[in-house]
Amino acid sequence: MTRVLVVDDAATVRLYHTSLLQEAGFEVAEAANGLEAVEAAMTTPFDLFVVDVNMPKMNGYACVETLRSETVGTAAPVLMISTEDRPGDADRAYQAGANLYLVKPVAAERLVRVATMLTAGKDPEA
Amino acid sequence: MNPLLAQFLAEANDLLASVDDGLLQLERNPGDPELVNEVFRAAHTFKGSSGLFDFPELTRLTHAAEDLLDAVRGGRLALDSGMTDDLLAAFDLIRGWLAHVTAHERLPATAGQDAAGLITKLRAPLGGGEAAAADQETPLSVRPIDPPPQWLAHLGTEWLIDTATWLGTTSSTLRFVRYLPDQDCFFRAEDPLHLVRQVPGLDRLAVIPPESWPAAEEYDEYACLLSFVVATRAAVGELDYLFRYVPDQVTVVELDAAAIHRHLEGEDEAEFAVPAPPPRPDALHVDPELAADARAVLTAAHRTLAVGEPAGTQLAALSASVTAAAHALGVPLDLTGADQEAVNAAIEGLLGRAPVEPAAEPPAVDHPVIPALVAPPAPVPAEPTGRADDPGGQVGTRVLKVDQEKVDRLMELVGELNVAKNGLTFLAAAAEEEFGSRALSRRIKDQYAGLHRIAEELQAAVMDVRMLPLSVAFGRFPRLVRDLSRRLGKTIELVTEGEDTMADKDVIEALGDPLVHLVRNSLDHGIETSDERVAAGKAPAARLTLAAVADGDAVLVEVSDDGRGVDPVRVKRKAYEKGLITEEELESLSDSEAVDLVFRPGFSTADQISDLSGRGVGMDAVRASVEKLGGSVTMRSEWGSGTTTRLRLPLSMAVTQVMVVSVAGQRFGVPVDLVVETVRVPAAEMGRVLHQDVVVMRGEVVPVIDLARALEMPWEPDSARDLAVLVVSVNGQRIGLLVEQFHREVDVILKPMEGLLAYAAEFSGTALLGDGLVLLVLNLKEVLGLAARVA
């Protein structure tokens, strides 16, 4: 089972991403902000993170930085999905440690395609 | 309705509430960065979620509001009340739309028109949109001048001549971009128009329609058929960066005056197509869309290496994503332990090899709606993992949003369970009386006791679910007070206290109208203008307080102001003029009794009826509606320093305890709250004072009303037996009700009288008893009134 953590403060968007990924056969957990995501990642290994940028308590950039820091230390791919589409937004995501930055709303098949591609090489034993 | 939309609507309510709330607080504390952030975040989240649905007007309007808030957040704008008005209006409109969406799953047809004016207003403070980035004096790049392409013609000959002249005099150059968006860019979440609008230093834009539009029946509104030609002062680097995700759809040329002149003279270069990388012998055969995504990942990784110095985990993750993308492109790659440079080289190699997307046929989709909207996802059965350290499911969600109807249904079932449970007591009685089995009767009673306890707890649990904080009822007031105070030209500070106090949702909902009325009254009659207040030696800003506090099984809600209060003399005079009180009462009524006169039907002290509270609805209506809830209203006022109205309401209206009595062989219910005691009085002790039966109890004379006579039922008490008198307390007064027989107390679900019976004011409702009898529950106030009329 490939485990994905969907991190977004908007319940509707979470439901959208979660149901798409579940249909595609992923095992999905949810977090409503960066802090919850970090907590979840510290207790459970995930194979992919789908992270929103604008969130209360801890925004997506800080969340990804923490995931990549020694605190969590996960090298699992991070897909950032945000409504922000200003020059520099994507770069901030990449500097934080994201592997792909997409602008909301992401088409259903694209989300599944990218998630599948990024997790294709994961070690089944992980 | 599909679950995603339902979820969105539920979430939208919360978000809109916090936007409203935040905006009103912001008006009081302008520039509070926390608040601005909160409002912006709510608006932003809302916009993000709305983008999942095909509600373009909704997204556009929210976007305009969000941009304005963003400017405030960034300190580029100060929020004034005009802007707040516009923002509130925008979110009001959205709220109306959502109601329409709830009913019809689409926006009203007029949404576009309704929103247009507001969008303009919201964008006005921003200078009608983000001003184009100031011309940066970019050092002239030593870029060769490109041959002029044919598509320059789209910019218009006249403009080209002017521009060429200007370029000639300044010996400068200009960049020209042609952007041919992919037909199915919509499905890749690209927004060509948005992209073009972001071009910095935009000098001219031409939007080019296709050479021929498809026939109407074949027209696919989700296929992008437009292309763009742009003239810009932005540097080539900026343009490359802006179009970094669609480099294959963009052509950029740099031209000077001479090149434009060459174009005008018809010396165009042969029209060249989109610059595709030369077809490579080893171009891979991969699903074009997957290839595009893989390329996006590689481009992202390339960009990451350009803007930062990833190391450690970051670099490991980056290498992994590059490997995954390579794998998707069918290229085996091992980057274990590779350093930045090695990874970079691998990426560049791969990007050269990734196949170019052919212009794909637009997918045969006739809706923009995502599959999730068409077919609700089947629930995925959770796999039992059996591992303790694997929470698997939801992380951190402990709150369920439950449809109100489901809770109401539960409540109904609890009521039915109670009724069915009560049936056991009748069965126990029957077992003994009809079947002569006392043992069985006792066992049934034991069983009943157990069932009763569980039913009680179940009821308490469901009631608990139905409890809402008073903040729900108070929520609308900041807005109301703000709007009204501005209209009346009064300065008012609204204070709410105890909004966490909980009460049943029916009570909270029913409380809304009386509260609005009281607040309006306060604003209209109670609170003075600032000048008046200053003249009276008060602070210019009046204070209106909404306070709630729990009190046993009741909740107290107070509306108080520090306004001018109620003038008892004036009230008495008014009441006398209107014939509500006699001349003696005019003399004898105390000040506090005088204040109570405002609750009399037909009383209104406003000298001129304003459009706020002069709607023919007075305090009498407030009192009536609160009493209908089983509550009471009292008012205290001090002339000159303010008024406090106190509402006392039961925590819940769902279950009522009633005492069952019978008269003339028919059973009636009396709310237990009102019952003081039950007594048996020997007929000889019944006295008469002024044609009124009385009984002396513990030195107090209590009038006794014959319930049968009040209800006009044929029944005469048997003078040989003691009389059954139910002593009740109504409006603080003790009154005895003469009845035929006392029965037990029961818990019932009180259903209000409906239809024609709603006019039978002497009954507050009906309840179904365990033996199937429909019990009429008395409204004692009305019954006593009837008794007075009958007497």
pLDDT in tens, B303-320: 888 887 887 888 888 888
pLDDT in tens, A35-74: 888 888 888 889 999 999 888 888 888 899 888 888 888 8
Residue B376 or B7, more confident: B7
Give the integer Cα–Cα distance in Å for B181 and B359: 10
Give the integer Cα–Cα distance in Å for B47 and B8: 11
Residue with tokens 């406003």: B606
Give the integer Cα–Cα distance in Å for B791 and B709: 9
pLDDT given at position A55: 84
**Partners of residue B192 in chain A, C-beta under 8 Å:** none
Q: How far is B408 from chain A (nearest CA, A)?
A: 25
Residue A126, chain B, CB below 8 Å: the answer is: no
pLDDT given at position B359: 37
Give the integer Cα–Cα distance in Å for B580 and B597: 8
Of A16, A99, A104, the CB nearest to B321: A99
Strand B642-650 to strand B554-561: parallel, antiparallel, or no bridges (unpaired)?
antiparallel
The number of C-alpha atoms within 13 Å of A13 and in the hemisphere containing its C-beta is 31
Q: How far is B787 from chain A (nearest CA, A)?
A: 59
% of chain B residues with pLDDT over 70: 86
What rounded mean pLDDT belongs to chain B? Answer: 78
Residue B17, chain A, CB below 8 Å: the answer is: no
B interface test, pick of A118, A119, A122 with most B CB neighbours within 10 Å: A118
Give the integer Cα–Cα distance in Å for B780 and B786: 10
Q: With 50 as the cut, is the pLDDT of residue B139 above it? A: no
Mean pLDDT across the stretch B157-183?
82
pLDDT in tens, B535-564: 888 888 899 999 998 887 788 999 999 988
Residue A52, judged by CB atoms within 10 A of its CB (0-12, 13-18, 19+), counts as buried
One-letter identity of residue B339: D
Residue B370, chain A, CB below 8 Å: the answer is: yes
Nearest chain A residue (CA) to B39: A56
CB–CB contact B290 A117 (8 Å): yes
Q: With 50 as the cut, is the pLDDT of residue B269 above it? A: no
pLDDT given at position B655: 66
Residue B691, judged by CB atoms within 10 A of its CB (0-12, 13-18, 19+), counts as exposed
Of A10, A68, A94, the CB nearest to B307: A94
Nearest to B746 by CA among B654, B656, B676: B656
Give the integer Cα–Cα distance in Å for B124 and B65: 11
CB–CB contact A16 B52 (8 Å): yes
Number of neighbouring beta carbons within 10 Å of residue B292: 21
Nearest to B491 by CA among B481, B503, B476: B481
Nearest chain B residue (CA) to A7: B395
CB–CB contact A68 B313 (8 Å): yes
In chain B, residues 252-291 whose CB comes closer than 8 Å to chain A: 289-290
**Partners of residue B187 in chain A, C-beta under 8 Å:** 107, 109-110
Structure tokens at B504: 């049943």
Mean pLDDT across the stretch B255-259?
83
Of B187, B194, B241, the CB nearest to A85: B194
Question: Contacts from A81-84 at CB under 8 Å and sequence distance 24+?
Answer: A81/A8, A81/A17, A81/A50, A81/A51, A81/A52, A81/A106, A81/A111, A82/A52, A82/A53, A82/A54, A83/A53, A83/A54, A83/B44, A83/B47, A83/B48, A83/B51, A84/A53, A84/A54
For residues B418 and B387, the answer to whether their CB atoms sit within 8 Å is no
Give the integer Cα–Cα distance in Å for B778 and B728: 12
Give the integer Cα–Cα distance in Å for B174 and B47: 37
Give the integer Cα–Cα distance in Å for A12 and B8: 5
Q: How far is A105 from chain B (nearest CA, A)?
A: 6
Structure tokens at B652: 């819940």
In chain A, residues 69-108 whose CB comes closer than 8 Å to chain B: 69-70, 73-78, 83, 85-87, 90-91, 94-95, 97-108
For residues A7 and A31, the answer to whether their CB atoms sit within 8 Å is yes
Mean pLDDT across the stretch A1-13?
88
Helical spans, DSSP H, in B80-191? 81-104, 111-123, 157-170
Nearest chain B residue (CA) to A72: B313
CB–CB contact B52 A12 (8 Å): yes
DSSP string, B705-742: EEHHHHTT------TTSPEEEEEEEETTEEEEEEESEE
Mean pLDDT across the stretch B112-117?
82
DSSP state of A33: S
For residue B561, what is the enclosing H or E element? strand B554-561
A interface test, pick of B49, B70, B240, B399 with most A CB neighbours within 10 Å: B49
Residue with tokens 């014959």: B706
Of A22, A36, A104, the CB nearest to B380: A22
Mean pLDDT across the stretch B336-357?
72
Nearest to B351 by CA among B247, B436, B493: B247
